[in-house]
Amino acid sequence: MPKAGSAVSQQHRTLSYLLVTAGQFIWHLLSFTLGHILFKHLLLGHLEIFVNRSLALEKIKCFGFDMDYTLAMYKSPDYEEMAFQLLQERLVCIGYPHEILEYKYDPTFPTRGLVFDALYGNLLKVDYHGNLLVCTHGFRFLKGAEIWNYYPNKFIQRDDMKRFHILNTLFNLTETYLYASSADRGCDTGYKHGNLFMSFRSMFQDVREAMDHPTGCYCASLRSLTQPRVTLLLSRMKEVGKVFLATNSDYNYTDAIMTYLFDFNQGDKRPWRSYFDLIVVDTRKPLFFAEGTVLRQVNTDTGKLWIGTYTGPLQHCAVYSGGSSDMVCDLLGVKGKDILYIGDHIFGDILKSKKRQGWRTFLVVPELAKELQVWTEKSELFEELRSLDMFLAELIGPMGLADQPLFLLQKVTHEMDMCYGKMGSLFRCGSRQTLFANQLIRYADLYAASFLNFLYYPFSYLFRAPPTLVRVGKGLTEARLAAGRHNTRERYGCPHMLITH
């Protein structure tokens, strides 16, 4: 018969075990919760990846990359200054007057997502529907009656592709500034110098042709100190899936850029082609995501193309030219939903790959670092804008808006926009969403300042999109509508920020 003391001792041991087990469980729970909170806190800002649509990384079987401004990040504004100078020299070589060389690139003026009006030479900032937010002729910002003279409805037909050209890429920054420089010296419809008259439309065509001639000296403007991190991430991606490169550049230019990018003293030196399962140059995106072109193999010794269409299997470290997104899927043995494509071009990389092929998409937005910095440093301006917006909403009635509050709203909007640069934020004008922001929300599943932000996430990570409410109007009370209009986190952002939903 067991002694009473031993029974009590057994109870004490059992109780101690339960307490220790419970303590460990609580500790692990707190550690996980606090760790997750700390993880998110540390990544708030330019290291974070933002989410428009939920994406489970463990379901991605293939990672695709663009090259320029994605894998190869150029130093800004050094790169744009050099590209602007080269562009000026090319135009002078084909007969443009030497006076255009007088302009020096100002990085505070251009921003992505502007629309060039080839009829009047104006640069326009518009929303998704074509409503004008900002209008400049040269470097002069037009207001009121001046805008109405050009655009009586303060609206443009975005589908008029012969007249209105969207400058969505980082490459477009230099030509954006050139259009402003030309209009600054020109008249309403073109550039006049002595007996020479050049319409803005023909100038646009000349600039586009000049922009299609890259040069190897751009290597000197590649960002330094990022190469080891690039190879680290590519190696990690190859451990969990396949990796391919699809660029519009030709092989010789691609080889020069990538050789420079992967030429560093640290770690194991490998040929840059060994980091990819498939390399495709001359893709001619966005045509690449539709019918594409003939797929040919590149002779990597000479840079020339082998004769005939390539019909064989995927070869290790081989380079191909042309083709289509369907051919990429066939060669790699994957489907559209298996691919996460990473690029900086909202139209050529993101919109078309999403709409035509259903690829998952990641948009590189280097401007995010500056946007987040302004968001943090000028939070009082955002709060003032929100308060004025709420005040004006309450003030609207049979008599319309009072002039004084409207003037204050315009003043605060201008002050806030100037924090970003002369053209304001990439994502909005005041509280109104830009065309670029709308396209980003619609077509980019993920976006960040750099693709290297993946280094801070495990490849089992689930990117979960924030919940959204679709308002149908009839089922909502006026109070709920008002609350929806005035919700600060919804309109002016949390970290999914800056972009107004």
Give the residue numbers annotated as catalytic, written as ranges.
Answer: 66, 68
Give residues with Cβ within 8 angstroms of 414, minimum separation 6.
none
Contact 356, 290 (CB under 8 A): yes
Q: Exposed e or buried b for every residue in 97-106, given b needs 16+ CB within 10 A?
A: eeebeebebb
Among all chains, which residue has been given the structure tokens 């470097």? 139
Rounded Cα gap, residues 171 and 87, in angstroms: 12
CB 67 within 8 A of CB 258: yes
Residue 163 half-sphere exposure toward CB, CA atoms < 13 A: 11
In 61-100 the beta strands, taken as DSSP E runs, fall at 62-65
- Cβ 36 vs Cβ 438: under 8 Å: no
Chain centroid offset of residue 82 CA: 22
**Beta-sheet pairing, 164-167 with 190-193:** unpaired
Task: List all residues 6 or more positions away from 29 whose beta carbon is below 8 Å from its beta carbon.
Answer: none
From residue 470, give the alpha-carbon distance in Å to each of 119, 439, 440, 464: 39, 18, 18, 18
Two tokens, residue 256: 């020069």
437: nearest Cα among 66, 153, 133: 133
Residue 106 labeled ligand binder: no
Tokens 């130093």 -> residue:
75
Q: In terms of C-beta density within 10 A (0-12 exposed, 13-18 middle, 19 or more buried), how is residue 213 classed? A: exposed
User: What does R_g of the chain's alpha carbons equal in angstroms?
Assistant: 27
Cis amide leading into 77 (omega within 30): yes
Closest alpha carbon to 72 in 220, 285, 274, 270 = 220
Cβ-contact 52, 446 below 8 angstroms: yes
68 is in an annotated binding site: yes
End-to-end CA separation in angstroms for the chain: 75
**Which residues on adjacent β-strands are paired with residue 136?**
123, 141
* Residue 184 is assigned to a ligand binding site: no
The two three-digit tokens of residue 226, written as one number: 């990022």
Per DSSP, the three-state class of 345 is coil
Task: Indicate the DSSP class of residue 298.
Answer: B
Exposure letters 376-407 (e unless 16+ CB within 10 A, then b): eeeeebbebbbebbeeeeeeeeeeeeeeeeee
The Cα 312–Cα 166 span in angstroms is: 39
Binding-site residue ranges:
66, 68, 344
Cite the annotated binding site for GMP by residue number: 68
Binding positions for Mg(2+): 66, 344
